[in-house]
């Protein structure tokens, strides 16, 4: 893979890359296609064209992203079958994990509900607990949690 990226050549520091190392920005493969500059899209297409496995992986990742952002959980089984049909062991492992709790994954990709507020509260409580570690007992921690 290093040879593939290196062959695209040139010093990329003067092209606005935040990485001081030569080569394309690693985020190019995960950005929305509408947000990639033309020269970056051409470079990405050249890289993907040299590695069929990488091209298939990128396609499956983009399709899964559409399932998530457009809430098409009903198409998850079809997507998993397409991934299993290709020889991509890492994605097979991902699909195996999805199948272990397929109903929850389908619901997460379909329903408008989010556990974000609960996760935010848990994160806040953990931060307070870390800040107070070794400095106070449970009653003071409880007061800080309730007052914040």
Distance between CA atoms of 29 and 37, rounded to whole angstroms?
12
The average confidence (pLDDT) of the chain is: 82
pLDDT band at 23 (very low <50, low <70, confident <90, very high): low
From the centroid of its chain, how far is CA 132? Answer: 33
For every residue of 89-141, DSSP letters joined together read HHHHHHHHHHHHTHHHHHHHHHS----HHHHHHHHHHHHHHHHHTTT--HHHH
Look at residue 18 in the predicted model and tell me its pLDDT: 47
Q: Stretch 28-54: mean pLDDT, rounded?
A: 84
pLDDT band at 84 (very low <50, low <70, confident <90, very high): very high
Q: H or E stretch including 22?
A: none
Look at residue 15 in the predicted model and tell me its pLDDT: 46
Distance between CA atoms of 92 and 106, rounded to whole angstroms?
17
Look at residue 31 in the predicted model and tell me its pLDDT: 72
Q: Stretch 69-90: mean pLDDT, rounded?
A: 94
């Amino acid at each position: 893979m290093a040879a593939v990226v290196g062959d695209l050549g040139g010093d990329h520091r003067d092209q606005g890359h935040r990485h001081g190392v030569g080569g394309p920005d690693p985020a190019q493969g995960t950005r929305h296609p509408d947000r990639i500059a033309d020269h970056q899209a051409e470079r990405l297409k050249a890289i993907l064209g040299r590695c069929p496995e990488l091209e298939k992986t990128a396609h499956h990742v983009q399709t899964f992203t559409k399932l998530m952002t457009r809430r098409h959980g009903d198409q998850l089984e079809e997507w998993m079958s397409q991934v299993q049909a290709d020889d991509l062991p890492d994605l097979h492992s991902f699909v195996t994990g999805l199948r272990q709790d397929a109903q929850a994954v389908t619901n997460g990709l379909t329903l408008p509900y989010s556990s974000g507020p609960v996760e935010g509260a848990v994160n806040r409580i953990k931060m307070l607990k870390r800040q107070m570690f070794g400095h106070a007992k449970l009653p003071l921690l409880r007061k800080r949690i309730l007052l914040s």
